[in-house]
Every structure is written in structure tokens, then in C-alpha cells.
Structure 1
């Protein structure tokens, strides 16, 4: 899966991640044909929250080489503690980030967040 988020939508995506951090400690990324679902469940499994971002939310959204009818989907579990610092400073992100690219590969065990900032700066983050 590969998706690109515009600078103004990075703030929206970051707020969704922050909201899910109040529900649980883990974030599930579930890319589907209908969009990217972000899910979180509390440790006692008494609370659940989900945000589904439509493919129209992204500048580019592709599931990769996997066929759409395939029963094998890529689902990723990330610790929110490691992800939250990326989206903490939302005001500075909104001013400096031009786009964010999120890549998930079925063959590797990495989720890659790449922030493309003004003046050619690039921030890579592996989860």
C-alpha cells in the first residue's frame, strides 16, 4: 500500500491518530479498496474507535501489486507511543510539510512515513 497525503490533510490525519491514542495503545492500519482504516481498541477491550479515510482524501492511494479480489490483505499494528511524536506539533507540521507518504509492504515488516518539507527537506520514519 502506498498513499500520499497533502500538507493540509496531514493535520487532519494527525488529529485522528491523536484521538485514537486516547482509546488504546495500539493502532491498526487496514488498507482496503474503500480507503485506509485506522483502528484502536482499549486494553480492556471495552472501547473501540475507527477512522476510515476515503481514497479521495489522499493525493495518491494504491494498494500495490495485490489484486483487489485477493483475500490476503495487509494489516499493520503500530504502537501509538512511537507514532505520536510525529504528529504532536500540528501547527508546525501544517506550515512546513508539503506532503506525507505512507508505505506499507507485505513483503517487509516496515511501515514507512516520509514527510516532504519545504526547502527540499525530507524526514523518514520507520515503524
Structure 2
């Protein structure tokens, strides 16, 4: 299973990013191989609109099965769900991507039933 985690940096000890569409980085973790890979999301950090959809498409293109994030807008939620990607939410109490991954492995996160914010309106 390939897991995408929203991150403020490119390392597993980086702070998790509470935003999905405007996250600075996605850290991908392959549960089968134990491999980590960082993918930049800089195109969407300052986007006027469409950041959630573009980020969701990028995550899908990179082969994610699951997304771990703090918040997600309605367009990103719909795009990920349409791609068959499950979304789980972590809280602000997580201090690193590695800690988020530990929480995932321990089954501590709830699957998102819908968007957690209204998204960006231009």
C-alpha cells in the first residue's frame, strides 16, 4: 500500500502539514518496501484556485492508495474519492511525519466522511 502524508518538509522527521491542497510536500511511504519518497507540491502552495484538485490529481498520479492529512477541502475530497483513494485525518498533536505514520500503523486515525473545510473561494 502506498501512503501519501502531507508535510512541511521533505524528511520523515519534518512537521506534518495540516493542509492537503496547499501542503508544501507529500511524503510517500510504501508499506511493502518501507521506502520513503518526498514529492514537492510547490505549484499549489500559492495557487489562486484549484490547489486541492491539482494536488489530488498529483497524489493519484504518484499511485497513492491512502492520504493522511489534517484537513481537506471539498474538491480535493471528491477528486481523491473518485480515484479510489481513502483519506484519513490526523490531529495537530502530531509533531513529525514519522509520528503520523506510527499513528496510522496503530489504527489511530478516522477515515474522512467528507470535506473538513469549505475550500478556497476566489
Greater C-alpha radius of gyration? 1
TM-score with structure 1 length normalisation? 0.28
The structure in which a higher percent of residues are strand is 1
